[in-house]
Amino acid sequence: MTVHLDVADGVGTLRLDRPPLNALDTALQDELRALATEIAGRDDIRALVLTGTGRAFAAGADVKEMRAMDQAAMIARARDLQDSFTAVAQLPQPVVAAVHGYALGGGLELALTADVRFAAEDTRLGQPEILLGLIPGAGGTQRLPRLIGPSRAKDLIFTGRQLTAAEALAIGLVDRVLPADELLTEAHAWAARLAAGPATALRAAKEAVDRGLETGLETGLAIERTWFASLFATADRAEGMRSFVEDGPGRARFRRPAAEPPAAPPAEAP
């Protein structure tokens, strides 16, 4: 196995483990997709840390493997490549990417699937596919401009240049920059805080934001109000409001998902 999943106290850790730099070959992509599908259905995983083992988060695709592929082979493979990353992007749980060393090409595209990105001070990030005569193929041309804007994304994609962690922070590509020895601790602390929160409301918030960004404002507002009303059926909502009135804000103790029926899923917005 080149991708591992560990779970403790509601927090999952999804870890790439393909030395020396976690190059994303087809086998790793398939394992990633399978584990993401598993995670999506597990109520004991309430938040997720995505990271890499060793010297890099992921230094990119396995170029040696790709070099042997012709156009027909890549046409057959390209959808599976994108689907493996999309499976992570569509996880209902909050996800933080803990990025260190290199996050280049497919490595950066994988980090982009997370909800937030924490980077170690030594991290280098970029989309260098243009230097191979290619473009990003695992979501980089779509997720990157949605995050940092089209002109900044085009600059990185057109030039293939690498950013330092500080430069990435300045343009909103990462959300925090930390000393390397604090990276995983802080990422797990972020995930643990959310794992103790109202699971259904967190999933609703993620879906409302993500689906809303793919639509117009009117449809996005319809998604929001449907989820907002649906959450009034949950025990977490009742506990949150009870605690606020009786104990003050921020003191609610939310239940594990198995302790309450799920909120009704939102109807398709018009």
Task: Kindly report, residue by residue over 160-190, the tens digit of the pLDDT.
Answer: 999 999 999 999 999 999 999 999 999 999 9
> What confidence score (pLDDT) does residue 255 get?
76
* Structural domain includes residue 72: yes
At 251, is the pLDDT very low, low, confident or very high (cuts 50, 70, 90)?
confident
> What confidence score (pLDDT) does residue 99 get?
98
Catalytic residue among 47, 52, 119, 129: 129
Identify whether 189 is a catalytic site residue: no
Alpha helices in the chain (DSSP H): 26-40, 63-67, 71-89, 106-112, 140-148, 150-159, 165-170, 183-195, 199-213, 217-230, 235-247
* Structural domain includes residue 115: yes
Q: Which of 161, 179, 195 is the last residue of a domain?
A: 195
Identify whether 264 is a catalytic site residue: no
Q: Which of 149, 165, 195 is the last residue of a domain?
A: 195
Residue from 6, 97, 112, 113 nearest 52 by CA: 97
Identify whether 224 is a catalytic site residue: no
Over 80: is that where the pLDDT of 259 sits? no
Catalytic residue among 47, 56, 59, 61: 61
Any idea which residue has 């290199």 for tokens? 102
Identify whether 186 is a catalytic site residue: no
Catalytic residue among 106, 126, 137, 197: 106
Domain CATH number, residue 252: 1.10.12.10
> What confidence score (pLDDT) does residue 267 get?
53
> What confidence score (pLDDT) does residue 96 get?
98
> What confidence score (pLDDT) does residue 266 get?
52
Does 107 share its domain with 62? yes
Q: How many structural domains does the chain have? A: 2
Predicted structure pTM score: 0.92
Residue ranges making up the domain that contains 178 = 3-195
Does 168 share its domain with 252? no
Catalytic residue among 59, 98, 101, 109: 109
Burial class (CB within 10 angstroms; exposed 0-12, middle 13-18, buried 19+) of 3: buried
